[in-house]
Structure 1
Amino acid sequence: MFSIGDFAALGRVSVRMLRHYDAIGLVRPARVDPVSGYRYYAAGQLPVLNRVLALKDLGFSLQQVQAMLDEKVEAGELRGMLRLRRAQLAAEIDASAARLARVDARLRMIETEGHMDTGDVILKSIPPLRVAELSAPASSYDGADITEALTPLYPQLQQRLAALGITPVAPPLAYYLPDPHGPSDESITVHAAFPIGGAVPADAGFDVVELPPIPYAATLVHHGPMAEAFRTGQLIATWIDANDYRTVAPGYAREVYLDCPPDQRKWVTEMQVAVNPAGA
């Protein structure tokens, strides 16, 4: 038998919490001294305490926990519930980390307002390009919406190209078009593409598209994760305005992924925005 203090230490909970669990009938002491009123617990009660704490971490109220304990939830079922909750928490952490990165990037952008160097923007002509591509709808041109829709397309496309023995002839790229059939006026279609050459069977499992040439493209190389690509996009926008050009509708940048190591902080991406001289 263990005193309430020792049992609390073994279970990594507070004595106050154990007293509360006793008061509501959730985890009763194994024995209470009739004279002193001291509570004593047995090692065999630790699994019950573990279940209580696990179910609490899953978001259940103490009343719900009591009901589930009365129903004697099996260990396997509880493990499954915990794994699901763990996956949910991990996704929430990833989403929060991505939001924090975007906030940091916006803050850095604000701090450099008025001091942006657009000297590295290059105006060039982009030749026509034949690509294999997969596409998907996205809710908007927001970075998180694009990432969710675009990211799964590249491994699918790579697998289908490899199955046909087709090797891309240039780095992968992405481009975006409005989706007039989407649920809102912000809906777009994302296109994940690899430049290719040679013949492709009709049932390849992907589309083959001839991208037209871009006579004038304001281009700039972006270094870092695509979550921060808006910074490079704003530099291009500043250059376009300062040099008396106008964007060509729909105005979305084409992204050419020059180098994509596992660490996104080391990504190198050329952003290309179609423009025309003012008055053209």
Structure 2
Amino acid sequence: MFRIGIFSKLVRVSARMLRHYEKCGLLYPAEIDHVTGYRFFSMKQISLLNKIVDLRDMGFSIEEIGDILPNYDNARYLEKALKKKAKEIQATIAAEQARLEKLMDMRFQLRGDKPMVYDVELKALPEIKVISLKEVIADYSDEEHVWEKMFQFIIENNIPICKGEGAYSDYLDDEYKESDVEIEISLPVNELGNNNSDGFVFQTLKAIPHAATIKFSGSYENYSSAMERLGIWIEENGYEVVGNVRGIALHDLLITTNPNDFLTELQIPVGRTGE
């Protein structure tokens, strides 16, 4: 048996943490001298301690560790717990990555390396033949999964598309929504097909006589600055919004894998205020 100080040196876990694990009911001393109060640990407890430390390092809370330890030898239970924690960690990584990207964007802006945001242009948009897919997605970041379905359908059905004409995203909700976002994506085609199936529809997007448009380069994180400029232009020039916001990816993952090379155009149907 080893007193807590010696044991902590041998196992390289602080005495404070050993006391904490005891308080939480994870690891009790093998023996306690009721006269002196000294705590003694056995080297046979190292296996249990290693499990606690490993689970802690994986990100499990004390409460979660307490639930897992009695079931540690149950492979199915342990696999389920590890899979759940892996998903939580992946979500945390994604959230932290998004924070890092915003931080880097601000650093670039401070250095003057702002993404290019072009001037607003008022123009007529012609009608266009497309294949479309409308879905409700978890949030705006989930749009890429809808595009994956689109590309898979096009490949499986050998549908010819018009390359170089952009990819359309229409946001159909009347207001910004944090979840359950209704979106319709479209790709231009030379001819309308007859096979509408699995939610995919051949249709003609109507012409828009007046649309306020703006282009911006770089990742989609730059959407806000472009929309700000577009909104100010609409307001200052006596227009009002009369339709849904539509985004067109002019240079995206179909052309380049570098987000810095993306080129996107935002289009908003507008009319004169009061008309």
What TM-score does the superposition give when structure 1 sets the normalisation length? 0.73
* Residue in structure 2 matching 1:245, options 239, 253, 265: 239
Q: Give the letter aligned to residue 72 of structure 2.
A: V
Partner of 2:140: 146
Q: Which consecutive aligned stretches of 4+ in structure 1 deviate over 4 angstroms post-superposition? A: 1-7, 9-12, 22-25, 29-38, 99-109
Q: 1:15 to 1:232 in 2, by over 3 A?
A: same
Once the two structures are superposed, the pairs formed by residues 1-280 of structure 1 within 5 Å of their partners are 4-5=4-5, 7-8=7-8, 11=11, 13-22=13-22, 26-29=26-29, 37=38, 39-42=40-43, 44-53=44-53, 57-61=59-63, 65=66, 68-69=68-69, 71-74=70-73, 76=75, 77-98=77-98, 120-137=119-136, 145-148=139-142, 150-169=143-162, 170-178=165-173, 189-205=182-198, 206-247=200-241, 249-250=242-243, 252-260=244-252, 261-278=256-273, 280=275
Whole-Å separation in 2 of the counterparts to 1:88 and 1:190: 27
The answer as to whether partners of 1:137 and 1:179 remain within 8 angstroms in 2 is no
Whole-Å separation in 1 of the counterparts to 2:34 and 2:180: 71
Q: Give the letter aligned to residue 204 of structure 2.
A: E
The answer as to whether partners of 2:117 and 2:217 remain within 8 angstroms in 1 is no
Q: Deviations over 1:167-224 (max 9, x none)?
A: 32122110122379xxx9x975201111112352425431112101112221111223
Q: 1:257 to 1:19 in 2, by over 3 A?
A: same
Whole-Å separation in 2 of the counterparts to 1:179 and 1:45: 61
Whole-Å separation in 2 of the counterparts to 1:91 and 1:29: 37
The answer as to whether partners of 1:120 and 1:220 remain within 8 angstroms in 2 is yes
Give SS of 2:83's match: helix
Structure 1: tracts of 5 or more residues without a match: 110-116, 140-144
Partner of 1:113: none
| Structure 1 residue 83: Cα displacement | 3.2
Q: Give the letter aligned to residue 47 of structure 1.
A: S
The answer as to whether partners of 1:168 and 1:196 remain within 8 angstroms in 2 is yes
Whole-Å separation in 1 of the counterparts to 2:34 and 2:18: 19
Q: Give the letter aligned to residue 254 of structure 1.
A: R
The answer as to whether partners of 1:131 and 1:208 remain within 8 angstroms in 2 is yes
Moved more, 228-237 or 79-88: 79-88
| Structure 1 residue 233: Cα displacement | 0.9
Q: Give the letter aligned to residue 176 of structure 1.
A: Y
Q: 1:2 to 1:165 in 2, by over 3 A?
A: farther
Partner of 1:114: none
Q: 1:138 to 1:107 in 2, by over 3 A?
A: farther
Q: Deviations over 1:125-151 (max 9, x none)?
A: 211111111111258xxxxx2223x22
| Structure 1 residue 236: Cα displacement | 0.8
| Structure 1 residue 53: Cα displacement | 3.8
Whole-Å separation in 2 of the counterparts to 1:119 and 1:203: 37
Q: Give the letter aligned to residue 178 of structure 1.
A: D
Q: Give the letter aligned to residue 132 of structure 2.
A: E
The answer as to whether partners of 1:118 and 1:239 remain within 8 angstroms in 2 is no
The answer as to whether partners of 1:160 and 1:204 remain within 8 angstroms in 2 is no
Structure 2: tracts of 5 or more residues without a match: 110-115
Q: How many residues end up aligned between the 2 structures?
A: 258
> Percent identity of the aligned residues?
26
What TM-score does the superposition give when structure 2 sets the normalisation length? 0.74
Moved more, 189-198 or 221-230: 221-230
Q: Give the letter aligned to residue 147 of structure 2.
A: Y
Q: Give the letter aligned to residue 26 of structure 1.
A: L
Q: Give the letter aligned to residue 189 of structure 1.
A: E
The answer as to whether partners of 2:117 and 2:215 remain within 8 angstroms in 1 is no
